[in-house]
Amino acid sequence: MKEPINSAEPIGQNLIKLISNVCFSAFVFGVLIVTVIAITYQPPDPWLQSAPALTKLFTQVENATFKDDTSVVKTGEDLVPAPAIAAVDIAASPPITEAAIAASEKKLNLTISNNASTVCPEVVNCSDPHVLITIQRFNLRVFKSIVFLEYAAPVNGSKPNECDVAWKFRNRKEKSWRKYRDFRRFRIGFREDCAYKVLGARGWHSGVNARRPRPRFNSGSRNPKLAAPVRDSDINDTIPKIGSDSAFRNGRYLYYSRGGDYCKGMNHYMWSFLCALGEAQYLNRTFVMDLSVCLAAEHNPSGKDEEGKDFRFYFDFEHLKEEASIVEEGEFLRDWKRWDKTHRRKIPVRKVASYKTTPMQLKKDKSTIIWRHFDAPEPDNYWYRVCEGQAANYIQRPWHALWKSKRLMNIVSEISGQMDWDFDAIHVVRGEKAQNKELWPHLDADTSPDALVAKLQGKIQRWRNLYVATNEPFYNYFDKLRSHYKVHLLDDYKALWGNTSEWYNETTALNGGRPVNFDGYMRVEVDTEVFFRAKTQVETFYNLTSD
Protein backbone atom coordinates (compact mmCIF):
# COMPACT_ATOMS: atom_id res chain seq x y z
CA MET A 1 0.00 0.00 0.00
CA LYS A 2 1.43 3.42 -1.00
CA GLU A 3 2.14 6.08 1.61
CA PRO A 4 0.05 9.25 1.31
CA ILE A 5 1.83 12.17 -0.44
CA ASN A 6 2.78 15.02 1.98
CA SER A 7 1.85 18.04 -0.15
CA ALA A 8 2.84 20.59 2.58
CA GLU A 9 6.56 19.75 2.43
CA PRO A 10 7.32 20.78 -1.18
CA ILE A 11 5.17 23.93 -0.82
CA GLY A 12 7.17 25.06 2.26
CA GLN A 13 10.46 24.33 0.57
CA ASN A 14 9.41 26.23 -2.52
CA LEU A 15 8.31 29.22 -0.40
CA ILE A 16 11.67 29.33 1.39
CA LYS A 17 13.51 29.17 -1.93
CA LEU A 18 11.32 31.98 -3.30
CA ILE A 19 12.00 34.26 -0.30
CA SER A 20 15.74 33.54 -0.53
CA ASN A 21 15.79 34.42 -4.21
CA VAL A 22 13.91 37.70 -3.61
CA CYS A 23 16.26 38.72 -0.78
CA PHE A 24 19.33 37.88 -2.82
CA SER A 25 17.97 39.83 -5.79
CA ALA A 26 17.27 42.83 -3.56
CA PHE A 27 20.81 42.62 -2.13
CA VAL A 28 22.35 42.48 -5.61
CA PHE A 29 20.17 45.36 -6.78
CA GLY A 30 21.16 47.45 -3.72
CA VAL A 31 24.85 46.79 -4.32
CA LEU A 32 24.39 47.82 -7.93
CA ILE A 33 22.71 51.10 -6.94
CA VAL A 34 25.44 51.91 -4.38
CA THR A 35 28.11 51.15 -6.99
CA VAL A 36 26.49 53.45 -9.54
CA ILE A 37 26.17 56.24 -6.99
CA ALA A 38 29.76 55.82 -5.89
CA ILE A 39 30.95 56.12 -9.50
CA THR A 40 28.77 59.05 -10.60
CA TYR A 41 28.37 61.04 -7.36
CA GLN A 42 29.96 64.48 -7.29
CA PRO A 43 30.38 65.88 -3.77
CA PRO A 44 28.74 69.23 -3.08
CA ASP A 45 30.66 72.43 -2.52
CA PRO A 46 32.55 71.97 0.75
CA TRP A 47 31.96 75.63 1.52
CA LEU A 48 28.21 75.01 1.57
CA GLN A 49 28.72 72.01 3.81
CA SER A 50 30.83 73.93 6.28
CA ALA A 51 28.88 77.20 6.14
CA PRO A 52 26.60 76.48 9.11
CA ALA A 53 29.54 75.65 11.34
CA LEU A 54 31.49 78.68 10.12
CA THR A 55 28.51 80.96 10.58
CA LYS A 56 28.02 79.71 14.12
CA LEU A 57 31.68 80.12 14.95
CA PHE A 58 32.52 83.42 13.29
CA THR A 59 29.20 85.26 13.07
CA GLN A 60 27.77 84.20 16.40
CA VAL A 61 26.80 87.28 18.32
CA GLU A 62 24.76 87.88 21.42
CA ASN A 63 21.63 88.41 19.34
CA ALA A 64 20.07 85.66 17.26
CA THR A 65 18.48 88.23 14.95
CA PHE A 66 21.81 88.85 13.26
CA LYS A 67 22.72 85.17 12.69
CA ASP A 68 21.72 85.09 9.02
CA ASP A 69 23.65 85.21 5.76
CA THR A 70 23.37 88.98 5.35
CA SER A 71 24.69 89.82 8.80
CA VAL A 72 28.00 91.40 9.62
CA VAL A 73 30.48 88.67 10.41
CA LYS A 74 32.71 88.89 13.42
CA THR A 75 36.19 90.19 12.75
CA GLY A 76 39.43 90.31 14.71
CA GLU A 77 38.46 92.93 17.28
CA ASP A 78 35.45 90.80 18.24
CA LEU A 79 37.54 87.65 18.71
CA VAL A 80 40.52 89.06 20.66
CA PRO A 81 40.22 88.19 24.37
CA ALA A 82 39.34 91.14 26.57
CA PRO A 83 42.44 90.84 28.84
CA ALA A 84 44.75 91.30 25.84
CA ILE A 85 42.86 94.44 24.83
CA ALA A 86 43.06 95.79 28.34
CA ALA A 87 46.81 95.23 28.44
CA VAL A 88 47.26 97.23 25.26
CA ASP A 89 45.05 100.00 26.60
CA ILE A 90 47.07 100.27 29.77
CA ALA A 91 50.37 100.30 27.90
CA ALA A 92 49.31 102.84 25.26
CA SER A 93 46.81 105.08 27.04
CA PRO A 94 45.51 104.09 30.49
CA PRO A 95 41.80 104.73 31.11
CA ILE A 96 40.97 107.85 33.09
CA THR A 97 39.33 106.69 36.31
CA GLU A 98 38.19 108.41 39.50
CA ALA A 99 41.38 107.24 41.21
CA ALA A 100 43.51 108.79 38.48
CA ILE A 101 41.55 112.05 38.71
CA ALA A 102 41.94 112.14 42.50
CA ALA A 103 45.69 111.61 42.17
CA SER A 104 45.95 114.47 39.67
CA GLU A 105 43.87 116.71 41.91
CA LYS A 106 46.02 115.94 44.96
CA LYS A 107 49.19 116.70 43.04
CA LEU A 108 47.67 119.93 41.71
CA ASN A 109 46.50 121.14 45.13
CA LEU A 110 50.00 120.73 46.58
CA THR A 111 51.19 123.45 44.23
CA ILE A 112 48.54 125.98 45.30
CA SER A 113 49.31 128.42 48.11
CA ASN A 114 47.38 128.09 51.36
CA ASN A 115 46.78 131.84 51.27
CA ALA A 116 44.72 131.64 48.07
CA SER A 117 41.71 133.92 48.01
CA THR A 118 38.30 132.43 48.83
CA VAL A 119 36.50 135.02 46.71
CA CYS A 120 34.97 133.39 43.66
CA PRO A 121 36.19 134.86 40.37
CA GLU A 122 33.66 136.52 38.10
CA VAL A 123 34.79 134.72 34.96
CA VAL A 124 35.59 131.06 34.48
CA ASN A 125 39.23 130.43 33.56
CA CYS A 126 39.07 127.47 31.14
CA SER A 127 42.83 127.01 31.31
CA ASP A 128 42.65 126.32 35.06
CA PRO A 129 43.48 122.59 35.49
CA HIS A 130 40.65 122.34 38.05
CA VAL A 131 38.17 122.98 35.20
CA LEU A 132 39.41 119.90 33.38
CA ILE A 133 39.23 117.80 36.56
CA THR A 134 35.63 118.97 37.12
CA ILE A 135 34.67 118.04 33.54
CA GLN A 136 36.37 114.66 33.82
CA ARG A 137 34.37 113.80 36.95
CA PHE A 138 31.15 114.94 35.27
CA ASN A 139 31.81 112.74 32.24
CA LEU A 140 32.55 109.67 34.39
CA ARG A 141 29.27 110.16 36.19
CA VAL A 142 27.15 110.76 33.07
CA PHE A 143 28.72 108.51 30.41
CA LYS A 144 29.16 105.18 32.14
CA SER A 145 29.38 103.21 28.89
CA ILE A 146 32.47 105.14 27.77
CA VAL A 147 36.13 104.51 28.57
CA PHE A 148 37.89 107.91 28.53
CA LEU A 149 41.49 107.72 27.35
CA GLU A 150 42.86 111.20 26.68
CA TYR A 151 41.77 114.81 27.23
CA ALA A 152 42.98 117.97 25.56
CA ALA A 153 43.21 121.20 27.56
CA PRO A 154 39.86 123.03 27.67
CA VAL A 155 39.50 126.21 25.62
CA ASN A 156 37.05 129.10 25.85
CA GLY A 157 33.57 128.61 24.48
CA SER A 158 31.33 131.32 23.01
CA LYS A 159 30.40 132.82 26.41
CA PRO A 160 32.47 133.75 29.48
CA ASN A 161 31.23 130.78 31.54
CA GLU A 162 31.59 128.17 28.76
CA CYS A 163 34.51 125.84 28.07
CA ASP A 164 35.02 123.53 25.11
CA VAL A 165 37.03 120.37 25.60
CA ALA A 166 37.96 117.41 23.38
CA TRP A 167 38.77 113.85 24.40
CA LYS A 168 39.48 110.42 22.98
CA PHE A 169 37.50 107.39 24.08
CA ARG A 170 36.20 103.97 23.22
CA ASN A 171 32.93 102.26 24.03
CA ARG A 172 33.08 99.54 26.69
CA LYS A 173 31.33 97.12 24.33
CA GLU A 174 33.99 97.51 21.66
CA LYS A 175 36.95 95.24 22.27
CA SER A 176 39.46 96.91 19.96
CA TRP A 177 41.89 99.51 21.30
CA ARG A 178 41.03 102.07 18.61
CA LYS A 179 40.23 105.55 19.83
CA TYR A 180 37.36 107.84 18.84
CA ARG A 181 37.04 111.58 19.33
CA ASP A 182 34.37 113.83 20.80
CA PHE A 183 34.36 117.51 21.75
CA ARG A 184 31.64 119.17 23.79
CA ARG A 185 30.72 122.51 25.31
CA PHE A 186 30.25 122.76 29.07
CA ARG A 187 28.65 125.53 31.13
CA ILE A 188 30.77 126.03 34.22
CA GLY A 189 29.77 127.65 37.54
CA PHE A 190 30.99 127.81 41.14
CA ARG A 191 29.99 126.08 44.33
CA GLU A 192 29.78 127.93 47.67
CA ASP A 193 33.43 127.13 48.35
CA CYS A 194 34.34 128.61 44.93
CA ALA A 195 35.16 125.18 43.49
CA TYR A 196 34.10 124.64 39.90
CA LYS A 197 30.98 122.69 38.98
CA VAL A 198 29.36 121.73 35.68
CA LEU A 199 26.01 123.49 35.28
CA GLY A 200 25.21 121.81 31.97
CA ALA A 201 26.67 120.14 28.91
CA ARG A 202 25.66 120.32 25.28
CA GLY A 203 25.53 117.38 22.91
CA TRP A 204 27.84 115.42 20.68
CA HIS A 205 30.49 117.52 18.86
CA SER A 206 29.11 120.76 20.32
CA GLY A 207 32.48 122.11 21.55
CA VAL A 208 33.50 123.39 18.14
CA ASN A 209 36.34 125.53 19.49
CA ALA A 210 38.09 122.37 20.70
CA ARG A 211 37.84 120.49 17.42
CA ARG A 212 40.81 119.93 15.17
CA PRO A 213 41.33 122.67 12.58
CA ARG A 214 39.81 121.83 9.23
CA PRO A 215 41.45 122.91 5.97
CA ARG A 216 39.52 125.61 4.18
CA PHE A 217 37.66 124.88 0.97
CA ASN A 218 39.73 125.73 -2.08
CA SER A 219 37.36 127.58 -4.40
CA GLY A 220 39.94 127.34 -7.17
CA SER A 221 39.78 123.56 -7.25
CA ARG A 222 39.23 121.90 -10.60
CA ASN A 223 36.34 120.00 -9.08
CA PRO A 224 34.40 122.48 -6.88
CA LYS A 225 31.73 119.85 -6.13
CA LEU A 226 34.15 118.01 -3.86
CA ALA A 227 34.20 119.16 -0.26
CA ALA A 228 37.51 120.02 1.37
CA PRO A 229 39.36 116.84 2.36
CA VAL A 230 39.24 116.09 6.07
CA ARG A 231 41.03 113.05 7.42
CA ASP A 232 40.85 111.09 10.64
CA SER A 233 44.37 111.53 12.01
CA ASP A 234 44.19 108.02 13.49
CA ILE A 235 43.76 106.40 10.05
CA ASN A 236 46.71 105.63 7.83
CA ASP A 237 45.60 103.30 5.06
CA THR A 238 48.11 104.38 2.43
CA ILE A 239 49.40 101.62 0.18
CA PRO A 240 52.86 100.35 1.23
CA LYS A 241 55.62 100.42 -1.38
CA ILE A 242 58.34 97.82 -1.83
CA GLY A 243 61.04 100.37 -2.56
CA SER A 244 64.18 99.67 -4.56
CA ASP A 245 64.78 96.92 -7.10
CA SER A 246 67.08 95.15 -4.68
CA ALA A 247 64.36 95.17 -2.01
CA PHE A 248 61.95 93.67 -4.51
CA ARG A 249 64.42 91.01 -5.63
CA ASN A 250 65.30 90.02 -2.08
CA GLY A 251 61.68 89.64 -1.04
CA ARG A 252 59.61 86.47 -1.03
CA TYR A 253 56.01 86.72 -2.22
CA LEU A 254 52.83 84.66 -2.37
CA TYR A 255 50.54 85.76 -5.19
CA TYR A 256 46.98 84.46 -5.65
CA SER A 257 45.23 84.95 -8.99
CA ARG A 258 41.56 85.87 -8.73
CA GLY A 259 39.36 82.80 -8.33
CA GLY A 260 35.74 81.86 -7.87
CA ASP A 261 35.59 83.65 -4.51
CA TYR A 262 35.12 86.97 -6.32
CA CYS A 263 31.54 88.25 -5.95
CA LYS A 264 30.72 85.78 -3.18
CA GLY A 265 29.28 86.81 0.20
CA MET A 266 31.41 88.47 2.87
CA ASN A 267 31.52 85.26 4.92
CA HIS A 268 33.03 83.46 1.94
CA TYR A 269 35.38 86.32 1.09
CA MET A 270 36.83 86.53 4.61
CA TRP A 271 37.20 82.77 4.93
CA SER A 272 39.16 82.60 1.67
CA PHE A 273 41.19 85.78 2.18
CA LEU A 274 42.37 84.70 5.62
CA CYS A 275 43.31 81.29 4.23
CA ALA A 276 45.59 83.00 1.70
CA LEU A 277 47.03 85.30 4.36
CA GLY A 278 47.54 82.33 6.66
CA GLU A 279 49.46 80.44 3.98
CA ALA A 280 51.68 83.47 3.37
CA GLN A 281 52.53 83.60 7.06
CA TYR A 282 53.18 79.86 7.16
CA LEU A 283 55.56 80.20 4.18
CA ASN A 284 57.11 83.35 5.70
CA ARG A 285 56.21 85.34 2.60
CA THR A 286 54.66 88.71 1.80
CA PHE A 287 51.11 88.33 0.54
CA VAL A 288 50.25 90.13 -2.70
CA MET A 289 46.85 91.63 -2.00
CA ASP A 290 44.14 92.68 -4.44
CA LEU A 291 42.30 95.60 -2.79
CA SER A 292 39.40 95.29 -5.24
CA VAL A 293 36.34 93.67 -3.68
CA CYS A 294 33.17 92.57 -5.46
CA LEU A 295 30.20 93.04 -3.15
CA ALA A 296 27.78 90.14 -3.63
CA ALA A 297 24.17 90.77 -4.64
CA GLU A 298 22.94 89.58 -1.24
CA HIS A 299 24.46 92.72 0.33
CA ASN A 300 22.98 95.18 -2.19
CA PRO A 301 19.45 96.61 -2.37
CA SER A 302 19.77 96.41 -6.18
CA GLY A 303 20.10 92.63 -5.95
CA LYS A 304 23.13 92.75 -8.26
CA ASP A 305 26.84 92.14 -7.73
CA GLU A 306 28.86 95.35 -7.53
CA GLU A 307 32.50 95.21 -8.59
CA GLY A 308 35.27 97.71 -7.95
CA LYS A 309 34.76 98.14 -4.21
CA ASP A 310 37.83 98.95 -2.15
CA PHE A 311 38.84 96.64 0.70
CA ARG A 312 39.39 99.77 2.81
CA PHE A 313 35.68 100.64 2.60
CA TYR A 314 34.87 97.67 4.85
CA PHE A 315 38.02 96.69 6.75
CA ASP A 316 40.84 98.40 8.63
CA PHE A 317 43.77 98.38 6.22
CA GLU A 318 46.10 100.17 8.63
CA HIS A 319 45.67 97.45 11.25
CA LEU A 320 46.15 94.76 8.61
CA LYS A 321 49.46 96.32 7.58
CA GLU A 322 50.59 96.28 11.21
CA GLU A 323 49.70 92.63 11.71
CA ALA A 324 50.71 91.03 8.39
CA SER A 325 53.31 91.44 5.66
CA ILE A 326 51.38 92.56 2.59
CA VAL A 327 51.94 94.46 -0.65
CA GLU A 328 49.24 95.84 -2.92
CA GLU A 329 48.84 93.97 -6.21
CA GLY A 330 49.22 97.02 -8.46
CA GLU A 331 52.46 98.12 -6.77
CA PHE A 332 53.77 94.55 -6.91
CA LEU A 333 53.04 94.10 -10.64
CA ARG A 334 54.63 97.45 -11.49
CA ASP A 335 57.81 96.54 -9.60
CA TRP A 336 57.85 93.11 -11.24
CA LYS A 337 57.41 94.59 -14.71
CA ARG A 338 60.10 97.18 -14.10
CA TRP A 339 62.54 94.50 -12.95
CA ASP A 340 61.94 92.38 -16.05
CA LYS A 341 62.54 95.42 -18.28
CA THR A 342 65.77 96.50 -16.63
CA HIS A 343 67.40 93.15 -15.83
CA ARG A 344 68.39 90.25 -18.02
CA ARG A 345 67.88 87.74 -15.27
CA LYS A 346 64.19 87.20 -14.70
CA ILE A 347 62.56 86.84 -11.31
CA PRO A 348 62.27 83.16 -10.28
CA VAL A 349 58.58 82.21 -10.29
CA ARG A 350 56.93 78.97 -9.16
CA LYS A 351 53.50 78.62 -10.76
CA VAL A 352 51.09 76.38 -8.88
CA ALA A 353 48.15 75.23 -10.96
CA SER A 354 46.07 73.43 -8.34
CA TYR A 355 45.07 73.89 -4.73
CA LYS A 356 46.03 70.25 -4.28
CA THR A 357 49.67 71.36 -4.10
CA THR A 358 49.81 71.86 -0.35
CA PRO A 359 51.53 74.63 1.59
CA MET A 360 53.74 71.95 3.15
CA GLN A 361 55.07 71.05 -0.31
CA LEU A 362 55.95 74.71 -0.93
CA LYS A 363 57.61 75.31 2.42
CA LYS A 364 61.18 74.88 1.12
CA ASP A 365 60.65 76.50 -2.28
CA LYS A 366 63.28 79.22 -2.93
CA SER A 367 61.45 81.04 -5.75
CA THR A 368 60.96 84.77 -5.30
CA ILE A 369 57.30 84.45 -6.26
CA ILE A 370 54.95 81.56 -5.66
CA TRP A 371 52.01 82.20 -7.95
CA ARG A 372 48.85 80.20 -7.31
CA HIS A 373 46.37 79.95 -10.19
CA PHE A 374 42.69 79.19 -9.69
CA ASP A 375 41.47 78.36 -13.18
CA ALA A 376 39.48 75.20 -12.40
CA PRO A 377 35.65 75.24 -12.35
CA GLU A 378 33.84 75.89 -9.07
CA PRO A 379 34.30 74.83 -6.34
CA ASP A 380 37.90 73.88 -7.16
CA ASN A 381 38.78 77.52 -7.84
CA TYR A 382 38.06 78.74 -4.32
CA TRP A 383 41.02 80.06 -2.37
CA TYR A 384 39.99 78.40 0.86
CA ARG A 385 40.48 74.97 -0.71
CA VAL A 386 44.23 75.49 -0.09
CA CYS A 387 43.58 75.29 3.66
CA GLU A 388 41.53 72.10 3.61
CA GLY A 389 42.55 68.57 4.49
CA GLN A 390 45.97 68.07 6.04
CA ALA A 391 46.84 71.76 5.46
CA ALA A 392 44.27 72.71 8.10
CA ASN A 393 46.71 71.36 10.71
CA TYR A 394 49.40 73.82 9.57
CA ILE A 395 47.60 76.98 8.42
CA GLN A 396 46.21 79.28 11.08
CA ARG A 397 43.87 81.97 9.78
CA PRO A 398 45.04 85.30 11.29
CA TRP A 399 41.65 86.60 12.42
CA HIS A 400 43.39 89.09 14.70
CA ALA A 401 44.65 90.94 11.61
CA LEU A 402 41.18 91.76 10.25
CA TRP A 403 39.19 94.57 11.86
CA LYS A 404 36.14 96.50 10.71
CA SER A 405 36.69 99.82 8.94
CA LYS A 406 37.53 102.66 11.30
CA ARG A 407 35.58 105.02 9.05
CA LEU A 408 32.39 103.01 9.46
CA MET A 409 33.04 102.67 13.19
CA ASN A 410 33.37 106.46 13.36
CA ILE A 411 29.82 106.66 12.02
CA VAL A 412 28.71 104.14 14.66
CA SER A 413 30.26 106.31 17.39
CA GLU A 414 28.69 109.47 15.94
CA ILE A 415 25.20 107.96 15.94
CA SER A 416 25.62 106.58 19.46
CA GLY A 417 27.13 109.86 20.65
CA GLN A 418 24.29 111.93 19.24
CA MET A 419 22.00 109.87 21.49
CA ASP A 420 24.43 110.54 24.37
CA TRP A 421 25.20 106.81 24.59
CA ASP A 422 21.89 106.40 26.42
CA PHE A 423 19.48 104.52 24.17
CA ASP A 424 17.66 101.24 23.61
CA ALA A 425 17.40 99.42 20.30
CA ILE A 426 15.13 97.07 18.40
CA HIS A 427 16.02 95.08 15.30
CA VAL A 428 13.12 94.57 12.92
CA VAL A 429 13.64 91.99 10.16
CA ARG A 430 11.19 92.29 7.31
CA GLY A 431 11.86 92.34 3.57
CA GLU A 432 11.76 88.98 1.78
CA LYS A 433 11.40 87.03 5.02
CA ALA A 434 8.19 88.82 5.92
CA GLN A 435 6.81 87.98 2.47
CA ASN A 436 7.68 84.29 2.72
CA LYS A 437 4.62 82.94 4.54
CA GLU A 438 5.74 79.32 4.27
CA LEU A 439 8.96 79.73 6.27
CA TRP A 440 7.89 82.68 8.45
CA PRO A 441 4.08 82.63 8.64
CA HIS A 442 3.79 85.13 11.53
CA LEU A 443 6.71 87.46 10.90
CA ASP A 444 4.80 90.03 8.85
CA ALA A 445 2.01 90.38 11.43
CA ASP A 446 4.37 90.23 14.42
CA THR A 447 6.42 93.15 13.05
CA SER A 448 3.47 95.31 12.02
CA PRO A 449 3.40 98.85 13.53
CA ASP A 450 0.60 98.00 15.97
CA ALA A 451 2.30 94.78 17.07
CA LEU A 452 5.60 96.60 17.64
CA VAL A 453 3.94 99.23 19.83
CA ALA A 454 2.16 96.55 21.88
CA LYS A 455 5.24 94.36 22.37
CA LEU A 456 7.63 97.17 23.30
CA GLN A 457 5.42 98.59 26.05
CA GLY A 458 6.66 96.16 28.66
CA LYS A 459 10.25 96.05 27.44
CA ILE A 460 11.35 99.66 26.94
CA GLN A 461 10.48 102.65 29.10
CA ARG A 462 8.33 105.35 27.53
CA TRP A 463 10.07 108.28 25.80
CA ARG A 464 13.47 106.63 25.77
CA ASN A 465 15.75 107.04 22.76
CA LEU A 466 14.87 104.04 20.57
CA TYR A 467 17.15 103.08 17.70
CA VAL A 468 15.46 100.92 15.07
CA ALA A 469 17.88 98.72 13.09
CA THR A 470 15.92 97.36 10.17
CA ASN A 471 15.84 96.33 6.52
CA GLU A 472 12.36 97.84 6.14
CA PRO A 473 12.68 100.28 3.18
CA PHE A 474 9.76 102.58 4.08
CA TYR A 475 10.93 105.29 6.47
CA ASN A 476 7.45 106.12 7.83
CA TYR A 477 6.69 102.48 8.68
CA PHE A 478 7.64 103.12 12.32
CA ASP A 479 5.69 106.36 12.81
CA LYS A 480 3.35 104.80 15.39
CA LEU A 481 6.34 104.20 17.65
CA ARG A 482 6.99 107.95 17.70
CA SER A 483 3.95 108.43 19.96
CA HIS A 484 5.77 106.45 22.64
CA TYR A 485 9.53 106.80 21.99
CA LYS A 486 12.15 109.11 20.53
CA VAL A 487 12.66 107.02 17.41
CA HIS A 488 15.97 107.03 15.53
CA LEU A 489 16.58 105.32 12.17
CA LEU A 490 19.79 104.99 10.19
CA ASP A 491 18.45 107.35 7.53
CA ASP A 492 18.15 110.08 10.17
CA TYR A 493 21.94 110.29 10.02
CA LYS A 494 22.48 110.53 6.26
CA ALA A 495 24.65 113.59 6.80
CA LEU A 496 27.33 111.31 8.28
CA TRP A 497 27.96 109.81 4.83
CA GLY A 498 26.61 112.71 2.72
CA ASN A 499 28.73 114.79 0.35
CA THR A 500 29.98 117.10 3.09
CA SER A 501 30.98 114.36 5.52
CA GLU A 502 34.39 113.12 6.54
CA TRP A 503 33.44 109.61 5.37
CA TYR A 504 32.49 110.94 1.92
CA ASN A 505 35.71 112.91 1.51
CA GLU A 506 37.98 110.06 2.53
CA THR A 507 36.24 107.30 0.56
CA THR A 508 36.08 109.54 -2.50
CA ALA A 509 39.84 110.05 -2.24
CA LEU A 510 40.36 106.28 -1.93
CA ASN A 511 38.16 105.78 -4.98
CA GLY A 512 40.18 108.01 -7.30
CA GLY A 513 37.89 111.03 -6.91
CA ARG A 514 34.68 109.10 -7.62
CA PRO A 515 31.97 109.29 -4.93
CA VAL A 516 31.28 106.02 -3.11
CA ASN A 517 27.80 104.63 -2.60
CA PHE A 518 26.90 103.88 1.03
CA ASP A 519 25.91 100.31 0.15
CA GLY A 520 23.84 97.61 1.78
CA TYR A 521 26.69 95.93 3.66
CA MET A 522 27.81 99.26 5.13
CA ARG A 523 24.25 99.91 6.29
CA VAL A 524 24.00 96.50 7.94
CA GLU A 525 27.39 96.92 9.59
CA VAL A 526 26.50 100.32 11.08
CA ASP A 527 23.00 99.17 12.09
CA THR A 528 24.44 96.09 13.79
CA GLU A 529 27.15 97.93 15.70
CA VAL A 530 24.79 100.66 16.93
CA PHE A 531 22.33 97.98 18.03
CA PHE A 532 25.01 96.22 20.10
CA ARG A 533 25.77 99.47 21.96
CA ALA A 534 22.20 99.87 23.20
CA LYS A 535 21.37 99.38 26.87
CA THR A 536 18.29 97.27 26.07
CA GLN A 537 18.25 95.15 22.91
CA VAL A 538 15.05 93.69 21.46
CA GLU A 539 15.42 91.14 18.68
CA THR A 540 12.98 90.14 16.00
CA PHE A 541 13.37 86.42 16.54
CA TYR A 542 12.72 85.12 20.06
CA ASN A 543 11.49 88.57 21.19
CA LEU A 544 8.98 89.84 18.63
CA THR A 545 7.89 86.73 16.75
CA SER A 546 7.38 83.04 17.46
CA ASP A 547 8.73 82.10 14.01
User: Do 278 and 381 fall within a single domain?
Assistant: yes
Specify if 192 maps to a domain: yes
Shared-domain flag, residues 184 and 305: no
Q: Is 311 domain-assigned?
A: yes
Q: How far is CA 3 from the centre of its chain?
A: 94
Of 23-37, 133-147, 154-168, the poorest mean pLDDT is in 23-37
- Write down the pLDDT at residue 173: 86
Amino acid at 52: P
Please answer whether residues 188 and 125 qualify as being in contact, where contact means their C-beta atoms are separated by less than 8 angstroms: no
pLDDT tens digits for range 191-242: 988 899 999 999 999 999 999 775 443 433 344 344 444 456 678 888 888 8
Q: Could you tell me if 387 and 534 lie in one domain?
A: no
415 is a domain residue: yes
Domain boundary among 401, 427, 446: 401
**Any domain includes 526:** yes
User: Which is higher by pLDDT, 176 or 414?
Assistant: 414
- Whether residues 367 and 481 share a domain: the answer is no
Residue 442 and residue 477 share a domain = yes
Question: According to the per-residue pLDDT averaged within each range, which of 107-111, 120-124, 133-137 is highest?
Answer: 133-137
Of 191 and 48, the one with more pLDDT: 191
Residue 240 CA: distances (Å) to CA of 332, 407, 412: 10, 20, 28
Identify whether residues 395 and 415 lie together within a single domain: no
C-alpha span between 124 and 161 (Å, rounded): 5
List the single range of 57-61, 88-92, 338-342, 463-467 with lowest mean pLDDT. Answer: 57-61
- Label residue 41 by pLDDT band (50, 70, 90): very low
Whole-angstrom distance, CA of residue 298 vs CA of residue 263:
10
Q: Looking at the domain assignment, is residue 431 inside a domain?
A: yes
Weakest mean pLDDT among 250-259, 431-440, 465-474: 431-440
Higher-pLDDT residue of 109, 270: 270
Cis peptide before 81 (omega within 30 of 0): no
Domain assignment present for residue 46? The answer is no
Backbone angles phi, psi at 357, to 5 degrees: -75, 115
pLDDT value for 405:
94
Residues ≥6 apart with Cβ < 8 Å to 291: 239, 310, 311, 312, 317, 328, 329
**pTM (2 d.p.):** 0.81
Residue 60 pLDDT > 50: no
What does residue 299 show for φ and ψ, rounded to 5 degrees? -100, 5
Q: What is the mean pLDDT of residues 83-95?
A: 57
200 contacts 210 by C-beta, under 8 angstroms: no
**Domain interval for residue 533:** 404-538
Task: Show which of 362, 381, 401 is a domain's final residue.
Answer: 401
If asked whether residues 342 and 461 sit together in one domain, one would say: no
* Residue 27 in domain: no
Q: Residue 431: its pLDDT value, please?
A: 84
In the predicted model, what is the mean pLDDT of residues 43-71?
Answer: 44
Nearest Cα neighbor of 204 from 408, 406, 413 is 413
**Structural domain contains residue 13:** no
Stronger pLDDT, 432 or 383, i.e. the higher one: 383
Q: Which residues contact 224 (CB under 8 A, 6 or more apart)?
A: none
User: Would you say residue 43 has pLDDT above 50?
Assistant: no
In a shared domain, residues 382 and 265: yes
Of 82 and 23, which is predicted with more confidence? 23
The pLDDT of 68-82, averaged and rounded, is 64
Which CATH number characterizes residue 317's domain?
3.40.50
pLDDT mean across residues, the chain? 84
Q: Taking a C-beta distance cutoff of 8 angstroms, is the pair 37, 31 a contact? A: no
Shared domain check, 413 and 367:
no
Average pLDDT score over residue span 407-424? 96
Give yes or no: residues 275 and 355 share one domain. yes
Structural domain count, the chain = 3
285-318 tens-digit pLDDT = 999 999 999 999 888 878 899 999 999 999 999 9
Q: Is the model more confident about 157 or about 42?
A: 157
Handedness of CA 90, 95, 99, 104 (dihedral sign): positive
Q: What percent of the chain has pLDDT over 90?
A: 61
Same-domain pairing of 343 and 414: no
Q: Tell me: do 532 and 412 sit in the same domain.
A: yes
Residue 22 pLDDT: 67
* Cα separation, 208 vs 338, whole angstroms: 49
Distances (CA, A) of 147 to 151, 157, 412, 533: 12, 25, 16, 13
Query: What is the reported pLDDT for 63?
Result: 45
User: Confidence class of residue 42 from pLDDT cuts 50, 70 and 90?
Assistant: very low
For position 112, what pLDDT does the model report?
59
| 82 has pLDDT over 60 | no
State the pLDDT confidence band at 62, using cuts at 50, 70 and 90. Answer: very low
Task: Name the domain boundary from 210, 235, 254.
Answer: 210
Which distant-in-sequence residues (6+ apart) come within 8 Å of 83 by Cβ?
none
Percent of the chain scoring above 70 in pLDDT: 79
